[in-house]
Structure 1
Amino acid sequence: MPFEPRTPFVHTSHLPPPEPPMRRLSLLALLLATLPLAASAAPPEDQWFTVLLDGRKIGSFESKREVHGHEVHTTQTLQIELERNGVKVALGSSESATETLDGQPLAFASTSRLSGSETRIEGRVRDGVVELDTSTGGATQHRRMAWPEKALLPEGLRLAGLRAGLAAGTRYSALAFQPSSLDAAEITSTVGAFERVDLPGGARTLHAVEQVLAFPGAPMKTRAWIDADQTVHKLTLPMMGVELVLLACDRACATAPNQGSDVFARTLMPSPRALHVGELAGTMRYTLASPRNEATLALPDTDEQSVVVRGNERIVTIDREAHARKGEKPAPSDYKPNDWLQSDAPEIVALAKQAAGDAATPLERMRRVETFVRGYIRSKTLDVGYASALEVARKPEGDCTEHALLVAALGRALGIATRVVDGLAYAPGFAGKDQVFVPHAWAQAWVDGRWRSFDAALPGFDAGHIALGIGDGDPWRFYAGLDLLGRIELREAQSLAR
């Protein structure tokens, strides 16, 4: 299928939900759990927080801890509401854990809700092995995974903080397991001096604790304030150039009506100039920079995108045509079904056969899949949030994330390795803004010995696509790349002659 030129205006329904990165939102429960709580007295059994984004109330957070016999049960629940281009989006995340009194993991559960879509994960830990049940889009899968060595759940993290103490300058690390993404991240905490902090119940003098979460390529820094009994009263973390803040207060305060926050504009990255269809059909070179001089920011190298580090700048060269230059072959998991790309489901298999028809080569099959998905998802809407491929197969509606996941799942059903890319796509005009790069999603497939991109939400892939992250369709990993929004800017766009 030849590349089709871009339309003069990119419809909002073709682009992904511009809510803040879901992975970062889901980490709120984890962040509170990692902070040391009272050593001499039991932590609060039920603690409430109001959630603010850029100074506006967007939701609530509740943390519970209960001791039953020889077990400790913790539950942490986040409820927020955002707006994206005038559409309200409700997000919810609840995580629970069961541990022994000395912090050994026994079981965990996670429920995530986004615009009516729900994912449920349950795990039981025994002898270093986790028995997992995952439910997404009405389909349930059972599997096993190894428990990450030395990983801790909330009670284990609390005890690690108690052992470290609160002396100014104290520094300690722990490996924190997050049920929603089924992975672990090292968190390094540094205890600081006392600071005066304004809270809904009045100002208090509290210890400041800085934390660094060691995510690959872009570590996340947070700050918390705790009292002499080691109870958390305030937590902040950066998000798209502004602060997300949790403040301890009573239940009435935490559950008061939200003010609403339209974060859509913050997800758009201005282009230094207008880009034309002809140059986007070739090769482009972009200069991206971190205004905060975050030298650790990482962008992926692919067979279409090469990245050169120059100080706090990233020189990104993108060719519309893929070149087998990276030597990165597919992993076995790139061919297999997972919780979000259910390529073995009968509905997906049937659609894959219908889409591919009599195509003889993997490249032609993927081109037909791309065209098929573009027409199959008839309702182009932002209301879905993030649906799995099976959900889209059964109810064909959504934005670019739904297009990308269905393309990837159909490719795997045809025996082709695929993966899902999140990044930015150029739009001549979008939501009243001219010449901007907008958060976007597309799929890559391993054909002809290289990773080649396929974009069913737009007329096709071109050099106006900048990849920020690559995943397997899991929303928590998918949105990790979008953590870069608000932390990078585009300083130069240059067309390279072929």
Structure 2
Amino acid sequence: MHFVIRRNVWLAGLLALPLLAHATPLEDQWFTVLLDGRKIGAFESKREVKGSQVVTTQALELVLDRAGSHVALGSTETSTETADGQPLAFRSLSRLSGNETIVDGRLRNGAADITTRSSGETRQRRLPWPNGALLPEGQRLAGLRAGLAPGTKYRALSFQPSSLDAAEVVSVVAAPEEVDLPGGRMRLYPVEQTIAFPGAPMKTRAWVDADQTIHKLTMPIMGVELTLLACDHACATAPNQGTDVFERTLMPSPRPLRIEELAGAMRYTLAARDRDAKLALPETDEQRVERRDGAVVVTIRRTAAAHAEAKPDANDYAPNDWLQSKAPEIVRLAQRAVGDARAPRERMQRIEAFVRGFIRTKSLDVGYASALEVARKPEGDCTEHAVLVAALGRALGIATRVVDGLAYAPGFAGKDQVFVPHAWAQAFVDGRWQSFDAALHGFDAGHIALSVGDGDPWRFYSGLDLLGRIELRKAESIAEPIQ
């Protein structure tokens, strides 16, 4: 029913390390990774000069616990640049629960030739390179030029190979302070960074010495703190302690919700625990959002009503690395699911029911699999149901997308009356976006959308960032439809 922390979310912050320049760069650095003070993994950053090129490699290995299950994930990114920081090529290798995705990119004439390999499928395409986007060495040099005078502020456009996105990073240097580290106390310069991910900026803080060598980095994740501490190889690779990240993502309901209420329309009043934080929830044909007195009021109707939401574009029909809708296995499965149904709504209803039964093993151990992986090995939780529903719809020419949010549960993992992290699919049928939830018994007004995407884990960041940082103040049953 719930989804694992997406690997790219963690990488977005952890791989921001090279944004801070080393006057004399260390060739190899190791870090222990802590969540809420408990060790969950290791991170390595390596820089090599090879003739006229600089190669930076960063590797992350984590083990996450969720409701008693262990999910191992890892990612390695390698970037090749000129000595003056001009990007040449990159590679991202991601591993999650045995599934591996490789993205290779090579720059040529202002664009990047991209090759993606996943689930035995290879996809090639050419993407325009964002103007001014930098890889690690270019970012390092930008920080070196800016210096460490307190109050210094500088900007850089950071390209993330794992997501094929660029995000602006604003860095601000603060006055030096004493910092406790495994090797003793050091006087370091704090550098605060704001990474402008769409809809959900991430803020990190790093502590560096006078040579701009990083010794500590922190970032908020789901209301707790993720910390990296520089140490030796033995320290970084010591046994993990483990911590259950899932419990932190549950949102208590102020009261029990009845089945008949959820079958109609509900109005929820949400607020950020941090008063300065801004909640940005999407509006859909089922969900209306408005701001009232510092809170966000979300009205959800089980039956979609077309209004101002954008109609589908070409990307909503097309295959991608996570929704391989043109793969023969997916096409055959889609035809098997719908049988003789011809109307798009009926086809999606049959797909929803089919996927519910097709994924026989309901497991939390998968983490995140693509639609093709699920078709070949039908097991997983809500994310596996969602991506397969979306891919089967696209295979039949129906526009679909994947929604990340929360779903109401009377009881879950020992907790009563909670909203649980969840994912489901939407399809554009009868002139509106309608939800289909194969992991549960269909969509109802107990679903709160936090973000809408194309099935790529990276697109879930804006929703994931809210988990553990929002509270539900009021839940009301309403009679009026969404206008």
Instruction: Please classify the TM superposition score into its range, dividing by the shorter chain length.
Output: over 0.9
1:35 to 17, 20, 25: 20
Distance 1:292 1:455 in 2: 31
Q: In the alignment, is residue 361 of structure 1 matched against residue 343 of structure 2?
A: yes
1:432 to 414, 439, 450: 414
Q: Percent identity?
A: 70
Match of 1:326, SS? coil
Q: Encode CA deviations 1:270-322: one digit per residue, 9 max, x unaligned.
A: 00000000000000000110111244320000000011022431100000010
Check whether the contact 2:56–2:78 (CA below 8 A) recurs between aligned residues. yes
Q: Encode CA deviations 1:47-102: one digit per residue, 9 max, x unaligned.
A: 01010000001111100000011100000001111211111111101111000011
Q: In the alignment, is residue 391 of structure 1 matched against residue 373 of structure 2?
A: yes
Distance 1:263 1:109 in 2: 29
Alignment map for 1:314-393 (pairs within 5 Å)? 314-393=296-375
Match of 1:363, SS? helix
Check whether the contact 1:217–1:296 (CA below 8 A) recurs between aligned residues. no
Alignment map for 1:279-290 (pairs within 5 Å)? 279-290=261-272
Distance 1:351 1:285 in 2: 37
Distance 1:311 1:194 in 2: 39
Match of 1:348, SS? helix
Check whether the contact 2:188–2:210 (CA below 8 A) recurs between aligned residues. yes
Check whether the contact 1:95–1:108 (CA below 8 A) recurs between aligned residues. yes
Alignment map for 1:125-204 (pairs within 5 Å)? 125-204=107-186
Aligned to 1:476: 458
Distance 1:113 1:326 in 2: 39
Aligned to 1:246: 228
Q: State the one-letter code of the partner of 2:453.
A: G
Alpha-carbon offset, residue 358 of structure 1: 1.3
Match of 1:236, SS? strand
Aligned to 2:427: 445
Aligned to 2:199: 217
Match of 1:203, SS? strand
Match of 2:449, SS? strand
Alignment map for 1:248-327 (pairs within 5 Å)? 248-327=230-309
Q: In the alignment, is residue 91 of structure 1 matched against residue 91 of structure 2?
A: no
Q: In the alignment, is residue 16 of structure 1 matched against residue 2 of structure 2?
A: yes
Alpha-carbon offset, residue 355 of structure 1: 1.0
Distance 1:263 1:327 in 2: 34
Match of 1:151, SS? coil
Alpha-carbon offset, residue 29 of structure 1: 3.8
Q: State the one-letter code of the partner of 2:301.
A: D
Alpha-carbon offset, residue 372 of structure 1: 0.7
Match of 2:181, SS? coil
Distance 1:167 1:470 in 2: 41
Q: What stretches of structure 1 of length at least 5 have no aligned partner?
A: 1-14
Q: Encode CA deviations 1:221-246: one digit per residue, 9 max, x unaligned.
A: 11110000010110000011110000
Given the superposition, is the C-alpha separation of residues 456 and 111 from structure 1 closer, same or farther in structure 2, using an over 3 Å criterion?
A: same
Aligned to 2:102: 120
Q: In the alignment, is residue 25 of structure 1 matched against residue 10 of structure 2?
A: yes
RMSD: 1.0
Q: Which runs of 4+ in 1 moved over 2 A?
A: 19-24, 294-297
Given the superposition, is the C-alpha separation of residues 77 and 311 from structure 1 closer, same or farther in structure 2, using an over 3 Å criterion?
A: farther
Check whether the contact 2:200–2:461 (CA below 8 A) recurs between aligned residues. no
Q: State the one-letter code of the partner of 2:181.
A: L
Alpha-carbon offset, residue 16 of structure 1: 2.4
Q: Encode CA deviations 1:323-344: one digit per residue, 9 max, x unaligned.
A: 0012410011100001110000
Check whether the contact 1:24–1:480 (CA below 8 A) recurs between aligned residues. no
Match of 2:373, SS? helix
Distance 1:107 1:73 in 2: 9
Alignment map for 1:66-81 (pairs within 5 Å)? 66-81=48-63
Distance 2:294 2:127 in 1: 38
Alpha-carbon offset, residue 219 of structure 1: 1.3
Distance 1:479 1:137 in 2: 23
Distance 1:367 1:259 in 2: 44
Check whether the contact 2:406–2:421 (CA below 8 A) recurs between aligned residues. yes
Aligned to 1:10: none
Distance 2:317 2:148 in 1: 49
Distance 2:294 2:200 in 1: 13
Match of 1:152, SS? coil
Check whether the contact 2:30–2:230 (CA below 8 A) recurs between aligned residues. yes
Alpha-carbon offset, residue 487 of structure 1: 1.3
Distance 1:311 1:394 in 2: 49
Q: What stretches of structure 2 of length at least 5 have no aligned partner?
A: none
Distance 2:70 2:337 in 1: 34
Count of residue pairs the alignment pairs up: 480
Aligned to 1:231: 213
Match of 2:149, SS? coil
TM-score, length-scaled by structure 1: 0.95
Check whether the contact 1:269–1:437 (CA below 8 A) recurs between aligned residues. yes
Alpha-carbon offset, residue 148 of structure 1: 0.9
Given the superposition, is the C-alpha separation of residues 20 and 347 from structure 1 closer, same or farther in structure 2, using an over 3 Å criterion?
A: closer
